[in-house]
Amino acid sequence: MKRPLLLTLTLWLLGAITLRATILAPQYCPAISAQTALDAAKLAAAWIQANQNPDGSYVYEYDIHANTDLPGYNVVRHAGVTMSLYQLAAAGDLSTIPAADRALQWMQRNLYRHADWAALQDPANGSVRLGATALMLASLLQRRIATGDPQHDVLMRQLARGMLALQLPDGAFLNHWDVQAQRPDPTERSRYATGEAFWALTLMHRFFPGEGWDEAARRTARYLAEDRDRVEQLPYPPWADQWAAYGFGEMATWGLTDAEVRYLQSLAARFGLLVRTDSARRETWWSRRLHGRYARAAGLGTWGEGLAGLHRASLADPRLAHLRPSIEARLACAAGMLRDRQIDTTEADATPDPRRAAGAWFTDGVTRMDDQQHALSALLLASLILSGKDQP
């Protein structure tokens, strides 16, 4: 009688230990204040500015062990990094505008024009992709928020029309304009660019109401909420799309459908799970075997951005209000982890080139410019939410 009982208790104990080490592993969420989050965001912006090239482009990747820049460039990430600098300016720090304007001039030199619209073209291969144009437009819209300067309003409308040249009747977007054939490529979509275009359209409606940008945005909102994961066969639905969260945060005051609310609820659960999972990771051999390595800053930052967008939606729609405490807790956790993993100025002094290290996040000794972009945005938005201020 004792032996079966002892065996049962042993199995229960082993099961409890296994759960504690895996699914129920304790989380580590470093405490963070609004000011500390803002300081970390500004330090990330300082890295971007210190690592900008004279022509307005940025250092793409840097290997801290070899103390060298790695080759390659990505025009979509160029636009995204520029957007984050303007986003910080829109929150009140205008010191980032000169660097962002240099990056904007780089984009203006690489415009593709067709009929009455414009798009951002990759100078390396001549491709014209939706994501690059959408984030260039988002950059200009953040600049408009920061400065009130209307000098780029004509260009913003041209870029928005360039995006609509790739929109399908159901609200989905194709990803690529075929320059040779002078038509959209019907075979290619992007799991990122649709959300980027959606957010840009919602911001266009803020500045240019009555021009129909909201109608185009609503078509895409329906597609994102009801069809995108299934049609595009994205893994682990809902796809953790922070750009969609930005867009729904902007359009929540217009009125959301029940399907859109359900989508945002599932998206909140998705981002929350991703942050919770990363909070259980440690920089040890055992933890890496069980839970994997830390998410790179570009990933953790996007989860923070997504939670911030959902927080904004929860303020506008009472059907989402019950999610606000958990959203705030997960966002604070993400911001705390980002700050904890960032190279500060003291740590940077021990590296071969402190200018290339201070304010950055490294994965296996390498940082990429969008690590700073997404972490900057997440920390900035977290600081605003922690201090009770409105997002730009």
Q: Predicted confidence band at 283 (pLDDT cuts at 50, 70, 90)? A: confident
- pLDDT at site 284: 62
- pLDDT at site 281: 87
pLDDT in tens, 207-227: 999 999 999 999 999 999 999
- pLDDT at site 19: 39
The torsion region of residue 294 among left (phi > 0), alpha (psi -120 to 50) and beta comes to beta
Whether the per-residue pLDDT at 241 is higher than 50: the answer is yes
- pLDDT at site 2: 55
Q: What is the pTM of this model?
A: 0.92
Give 114's strand partners: 117
Whether the per-residue pLDDT at 255 is higher than 50: the answer is yes
Percentage of the chain exceeding pLDDT 70? 91
Whether the per-residue pLDDT at 243 is higher than 90: the answer is yes
- Give residues with Cβ within 8 angstroms of 152, minimum separation 6: 140, 143, 144
Q: Predicted confidence band at 311 (pLDDT cuts at 50, 70, 90)? A: very high
Q: If you search the block for the tokens 């929109």, which residue do you land on?
A: 167
If you average pLDDT over residues 74-95, what whole number do you get? 98
Q: Predicted confidence band at 25 (pLDDT cuts at 50, 70, 90)? A: low
Whether the per-residue pLDDT at 287 is higher than 80: the answer is no
> Around Cβ 352, how many Cβ atoms within 10 Å?
11
- pLDDT at site 8: 52
- pLDDT at site 39: 98
- Give residues with Cβ within 8 angstroms of 290, minimum separation 6: 21, 22, 25
d(CA 388, CA 374): 21
Percentage of the chain exceeding pLDDT 90? 89
pLDDT in tens, 144-176: 999 999 999 999 999 999 999 999 999 999 999
Q: Predicted confidence band at 12 (pLDDT cuts at 50, 70, 90)? A: low
If you average pLDDT over residues 6-28, what whole number do you get? 52
- pLDDT at site 69: 97
- pLDDT at site 293: 79
Token digits of residue 284 = 């040890």
Give the distance, in angstroms, between the CA of residue 24 and the centroid of all CA atoms in the same chain: 27
**Structure-model confidence comparison of residues 225 and 191, the more confident one:** 225
- pLDDT at site 256: 98
d(CA 331, CA 105): 34
Whether the per-residue pLDDT at 15 is higher than 50: the answer is no
Q: Which fold has domain 27-386?
A: Glycosyltransferase (1.50.10)
Mean pLDDT of the chain: 93
- pLDDT at site 265: 98
- pLDDT at site 113: 98
Whether the per-residue pLDDT at 107 is higher than 60: the answer is yes
- pLDDT at site 21: 46
Whether the per-residue pLDDT at 17 is higher than 50: the answer is no
Verify cis geometry, omega within 30 degrees of 0, for the bond prior to 4: no
pLDDT in tens, 314-359: 999 999 999 999 999 999 999 999 999 999 999 999 999 999 999 9
